[in-house]
Chains A and B, each alone.
Chain A
Amino acid sequence: MLSNFDFSVILKSLPYLFGQGMVFTLSLTAMAAAGGVVIGTLLAMARLSGIPGVWHLAKGYVELCRSLPLVLVIFWFYFLVPYIGAYVTGSSTPIQVGAFPSALITFTAFEAAYFAEIMRAGIQSIPKGQTAAASALGMNYWQTMSNVVLPQAFRNMLPLLLTQTIVLFQDTSLVYVLSLTDFMGAASKVAQRDGRLVEMYIFAAIVYFAICFSASFLVRRLQRRVAIIR
């Protein structure tokens, strides 16, 4: 039965799969993760600030994102934001955002909610005495956060942040709904063009597995190295 398969199609399409597809997937993952961590950290700080209004907003945002399917948010952002943009600017035609910026903004904003929960746990894991010591030395809130709390929280949570980034890496395959050519999209296109669905999807699965499995392995090793001695 295997004789009916033609695995040479994979070899022929490698440059396209990796040169375009994987590069796209990795760039989207890296940019969304970087943006997501920054926004997530701000969300976590807002949620822990105890300032009425501010923390309610942050909590509401995080809970909302965590309660919606990602693919819905991708659709929603791509199809509805142009109309909202038009309404806000008073333009008569929809404001086109473009598929890539749209995907990047969606992933960043959506993942920020998950990163926010990780950073919130990280900030809360820093003993109160550390903030007291920073305050006693005359540091204000931002100085305490940026010099004392966040560097420690970030280090403590680095394994979790990276694990979430691996999830994000897998989730980026959802951009196929916007017809963007990520790794999965590229594999899919070749598969349909050449009628080699089984071969291409098996290959894509192997690649995703190999990358995520080795990344998880590296994260576990890193976990042992970054722990701060107390």
Chain B
Amino acid sequence: MTSSPMPAPTAGQPAVDADHAPKDAGLQPGSLVSGLPKAAPGETMIAIDAISKWYGEFQVLTNCTTKVAKGEVVVVCGPSGSGKSTLIKCVNALEPFQKGQITVAGTKVLDKSTNLPKLRSRVGMVFQHFELFPHLTITENLTIAQRKVLKRDGEDAKKRGLDLLARVGLGAHAHKYPGQLSGGQQQRVAIARALAMNPVVMLFDEPTSALDPEMVGEVLDVMVELAKEGMTMMVVTHEMGFARKVADRVIFMDRGEIVEDATKDEFFGSPRSERAQTFLSKILQH
């Protein structure tokens, strides 16, 4: 394990509740990512090539094209119903699409010969509503896919899971059930669960939208740290602070189309499209 430079745990973090606070240490120093292949600069990790998707007659995605390079952090934003969550779910084929192609780490997502479970096991995904398995303990949540999908030995899986759990500051909660944790804690476990699979890419689908405001910070801390460690990330979020801090590029979507695909500075400095300007002025107002 390599240790990476880490800011001290965020100062002034609000105490979640008296029961959890002493045991919840927040993000811990140490590495979240291990076994990432060395990145050749500029190598494409996700290539989304002209995809279109319909629900019956209704077109939800129109000719979307973009690329995410290895180690790049891309934030996808846009008004609700703009298709941003749908787009990100197409990347690991949780949502099928009818036209175009997506290539993840060299594997075509929509190909008949593609082993989808295998591809998905290499693509971590974090959901808006965490989706931890409520009937399993935190430890079991962290190990089940490692054991069943990657066929890792039970002890190895447990070690890897608990390492990551300690890393996100929740080592003391291993024996609990998801329902006993706060939303922010559950989401950090969900990130650890995805990381336990040694993914080459991480997808985040509005990871902080379902959280109480005081818990957003603890989840973003983990995501910022991941970005710093060089994880390739595609993040659907309204957290423009996060985008400003770590995004390399920002994609703005509206009505199923990618309206703007720009570097962070371009996007926040001088968005070209009127729709992006309107969106930004609305969400940056407060």
**A136: contacting residue among B125, B132, B144, B180, CB under 8 A:** B125
At the interface, yes or no: B70 with Cβ under 8 Å from chain A? no
Q: Which of B114-122, B238-246, B255-263, B270-278 contacts A (4 or more CB under 8 A)?
A: B114-122
B50-66 vs A: 1/0 string, CB under 8 Å? 00000000000000000
7 contacts between A and B (CB under 8 A): A129-B129, A136-B92, A137-B193, A138-B117, A152-B134, A229-B177, A230-B134
* Shortest distance between the CB of B146 and any CB in chain A (Å): 9
B135 touches A155 (CB 8 A): yes
If over half of A's interface residues share one DSSP class (helix, strand or loop), that class is named, otherwise mixed; here it is helix
A134-B145, A136-B120, A228-B179 known, 18 other contacts, Cβ within 8 Å: A135-B94, A136-B92, A137-B144, A137-B149, A138-B117, A138-B120, A138-B197, A139-B117, A139-B148, A139-B149, A148-B133, A152-B133, A228-B135, A229-B178, A229-B179, A229-B180, A230-B178, A230-B179
* B134 / chain A contacts, CB cutoff of 8 Å: 152, 228-230
Q: Mark B108-130, 1 if CB is under 8 A from A, else 0.
A: 00000000011111111101010
Q: Does A151 contact B (CB under 8 A)?
A: yes
Tell me, yes or no, whether B266 is within 8 Å of chain A by CB: no
Q: Answer whether residue B43 sits at the interface, using C-beta atoms and an 8 A cutoff.
A: no
- Which chain B residues (181-236) contact chain A, with CB distance < 8 Å? 193-194, 197
Residues of B within 8 A of A151 (CB): 135
Inter-chain contacts of B129 with A (CB < 8 A): 127, 129
A134 to B190, CA, bound (A): 12
A136 touching B149 by the CB < 8 A rule?
no
Chain B residues contacting A147 (CB-CB under 8 Å) are 133, 144, 148
Q: Which residues in A have some Cβ–Cβ distance to B below 8 Å?
A: 127, 129-130, 132-140, 143, 147-148, 151-152, 155, 228-230
Contact pick for A139, options B131, B145, B177, B179, CB 8 Å: B145
Which residues of B pack against A, CB within 8 Å?
89, 92, 94, 117-125, 127, 129, 131-135, 144-145, 148-150, 177-180, 193-194, 197
Please pick, from B122, B131, B193, B194, the residue contacting A132 in the complex, using a CB distance under 8 A: B131
Cβ 8 A contact of B123, one of A127, A133, A136, A228: A136
Contact of A152 among B122, B123, B131, B135 (CB under 8 A): B135
| CB-based contact B149/A132 at 8 Å | no
Q: A148-B133, A230-B134 are in contact. Are A132 and B127 (CB under 8 A)?
A: yes
Question: Known contacts A132-B94, A132-B127, A135-B120; is A143 also within 8 Å of B133 by CB?
Answer: no
* Bound-state Cα–Cα, A151 to B133, Å: 10
Given contacts A132-B94, A136-B92, A136-B123, contact A143 B149 (CB under 8 A): yes
Q: Which 9 A-B pairs have the closest CB atoms?
A: A138-B121, A229-B179, A133-B131, A137-B145, A136-B125, A138-B149, A129-B131, A138-B117, A138-B120
Interchain CA distance A182-B24 in the complex, whole Å: 59
Q: Which residues of B contact A136 (CB under 8 A)?
A: 92, 94, 120, 123-125, 127, 194
Q: Are B135 and A137 in contact (CB under 8 A)?
A: no
Best-buried of B117, B149, B194, B197 by chain A (most CB within 10 Å) = B117
Complex contact B127–A137 (CB within 8 A): no
> Which A residues touch B120, using CB under 8 A?
135-138
Question: In the complex, which residues of chain A have a beta carbon less than 8 angstroms from the beta carbon of B194?
Answer: 136-137
User: A136, A139, A143, A147: which has the most chain B beta carbons within 10 Å?
Assistant: A136
Residue of B nearest to A140 (CB): B117
Q: Which residues of B contact A155 (CB under 8 A)?
A: 135
- How far is A148 from B193 in the complex, measured between Cα atoms in Å? 15
